[in-house]
A and B are shown apart, each in its own frame.
Chain A
Amino acid sequence: MYVAVKGGEKAVKNSQRLVAQKRRGDTRLQKISMDQITNQLGLGVDRIMAEGSLYDITAAAMAIHQAQGDMMEAVFLVRAFRTTLKRFGNSIPVQTTKMTAIRRVSGIFKDIPGGQILGPTYDYTHRLIAPDPDQGPDAGSDRHMETDTAPPNHAAACEDISPLPEELPRVIDLLQAQGLLQQDDIRPPGDAAEDLTRQPLAFPVSRSLRLQALARGDEGFILGTAYSLQRGFGLDRHPFLGELKVGYVAVRYTPPELGFDIHVGRMKLTECVMVNRQDDAARKAAGFETGYGLVFGQNERKAMSMSLLDRSLAAEKNTGKTDYPARDPEFILSHCDNVESSGFVQHLKLPHYVDFQSELVFIRNRRKDHTPDKGNR
């Protein structure tokens, strides 16, 4: 008679055994190696690193494998690993103008200093499922393939294109020089940087925490809410892509015991600046405002969506308006984390017998109150 409440331990063990079996699949097939995942599913690895907020290609690949390709589960695994890591200091803010870019586009000026670089993108491919996409006229030869484990030396890896410039000035500097940009506080906070993973979100939220939350937020949520802005739920005109850049930056760190900075590694980043026209009568001069996006790995839709939201969420401070979800910092930032939202939605699978029992008792008592012999209708 205790069947309903007993037997949890055995059930959990069996369930975990079944998961392991499902993950392995048909044992006649070869197991996927981590190198195959980092090399051939690189954009997936990038997404896991971004939302897991940990730049660790190996951990991300292991998580994808362990989660059977369930990306949110993989993000969760990486987060649970990241949370145990020791923090030994803050790096020197990375210089994205010194990025070794593999891709750089602007939607506002045709000719930009340093030039546009199309680089690897699906933007102009035809989405036809091919039996083997690596064969055929559109495919690059193997020697052009670059991997994250060996960051590209462009002179060698891309021998059929001209070498890229060492330094790419920011496109919005062109607008800045003409005094057309609304000034945002863009100074890097340095050692005083707040850390979203060490402190709870409190509102109103600073820009650095806002950007952190967006950078690790769920790609789908960030994309969908940015899209709602474009459809008039928060923006009344068309935004423009100032600059979108993908490439590798050097990470430098000054250990206190050394006193000088050292190169500790390279990271692939996607950086985006969106430009919006601003001519509210209430404010001083007409001009442009910007929104900023920065994401681990190559993830352009995420970086672009993030920069749209960065701008719209800053607007609340200026206008006090939170009339649309995508203009409301509390709505967006409290709901963009997929480890949080996935956990809370799915906790409904846990038993709620006691709570439901309380509801049943309430409903039955209420029905009793309303039986005709008690005088109620």
Chain B
Amino acid sequence: MPLSYNFAYLDEQSKKMIRRSILKAIAIPGFQVPFGGREMPLPYGWGTGGIQLTAAVIGPDDRLKVIDQGSDDTVNAISIKAFFKKTAGIETTEDTERATIIQTRHRIPETPLQNGQIMVFQVPIPEPLQFIEPKKSQTVKMHGFEEYGSMHVKLYEDIAKFGRIATAFDYPVQVHQRYIMSPSPIPKYDNPKLHRSPAVHLFGAGREKRIYAVPPYTDVVSLDFEDYPFELEKWDGACAVCGSTDSFLDEIITDDTGTRMFICSDTEYCQKKSGNTFS
């Protein structure tokens, strides 16, 4: 059995195919481009879409940062970083500002992104209309005809039932005044970071075999109503470690009696704020 693999695992033909899909995705912001998703050595649901995107765009000079739930050191982030260290021999970093490619699951870093950086999102369900209409054959048409009434009805029903829009993460956005897009399961707190972001944002869904993108400086608007505007999560306190009041906070249970504290979900941001240096 041959045991040698190409740079960044995928063969060059597969990478070309993925790059062509990326170009198409960038040309039609928010549109889901079907692509010949490959089977990867990590399981579906572990970020195979993101890994394929990273494998297709990464070069020997790139510095890769991988986060999961905002943290650089969760097991899946470690495992994906190790995968690219092994197959591409590239440098990895935890520093958001130094990274050229940031692969993420469920968060966008708190540190503002810059032009030239590539964000790669792992997407479980690329279709924002999936839970309104499970059939792909239908949703393709709905996007084609810009038939988004049912999505607005769903949001309206939330308001009628709960007095507010009940979607807390994977909150749907409209890209460049055209396609409704799933921002992947990031908390809606992160949605505004996509709006006119200087970085390019690539979204990869491995199991569903779809790629989509938000090019730099593109309008990304979270769906809402004039009288019920889009609102962000708010916390009463600040981060217990760095004192930040402007970042997404995770709740940590600290003892058996249920004592809680709140700390930044973005561990790199938190360390920087609290003055810790990188190990």
Question: Residues of A at under 8 Å CB distance from B?
Answer: 1-2, 4-9, 11-12, 58-59, 62, 76, 79-84, 86, 197-204, 330, 334, 339-340, 342-347, 350-355, 357-362, 365-366, 369
Contact = CB atoms under 8 A, between A and B. Distances in A.
A4 B264 CA distance: 12
Nearest to B77: A8
Contacts of A7: 73
Given A8-B75, A347-B43, A84 B187 contact: no
Would you list the 8 A-B pairs with minimal beta carbon distance, nearest first?
A347-B45, A343-B44, A200-B209, A358-B168, A343-B43, A80-B41, A83-B39, A343-B45
B262 to A, nearest CB: 9
Given A1-B252, A340-B44, 4 more contacts: A198-B36, A352-B185, A357-B251, A366-B163
A9 B36 contact: no
Nearest to B35: A200
Contacts of A200: 34-37, 209-210
B9 interface: yes
Interface residues of B, number: 68
B127 to A, nearest CB: 12
15 contacts: A1-B254, A2-B267, A8-B75, A8-B78, A200-B210, A339-B44, A344-B44, A346-B45, A350-B68, A351-B74, A354-B106, A354-B107, A354-B186, A355-B168, A366-B164
Contact of B137 (A62, A79, A203, A342): A203
B103 interface: no
B69 A83 contact: no
Given A5-B74, A7-B73, A350-B68, A358 B189 contact: yes
B136 interface: yes
B178 interface: no
Given A5-B73, A76-B43, A354-B107, A81 B207 contact: no
B168 A346 contact: no
Contacts of B105: 350
A342 B43 contact: yes
Contacts of B23: none
B79 interface: yes
B96 interface: no
B27 interface: no
A54 B137 CA distance: 30
Contacts of B156: none
B249 to A, nearest CB: 8
A272 to B, nearest CB: 26
A12 B79 contact: yes
B251 A360 contact: yes
Contacts of A352: 69, 106, 185
A282 B37 CA distance: 41
B45 A350 contact: yes
Contacts of A82: 39
Interface string B235-261: 100001100000011111010000001
Contact of A344 (B45, B78, B250, B251): B45
A19 B5 CA distance: 24
Contacts of A342: 43-44
A362 B74 CA distance: 25
B162 interface: yes
Contact of B124 (A81, A201, A347, A366): A347
Nearest to B41: A80
A80 B164 CA distance: 45
Contact of A79 (B39, B77, B240): B39
B213 to A, nearest CB: 17
Given A11-B75, A358-B168, A358-B169, A330 B135 contact: yes
Contacts of B107: 354
A334 B36 CA distance: 15
Interface string B160-177: 001110101110000000
B227 interface: no
Contacts of B251: 357, 360
A207 B207 CA distance: 21
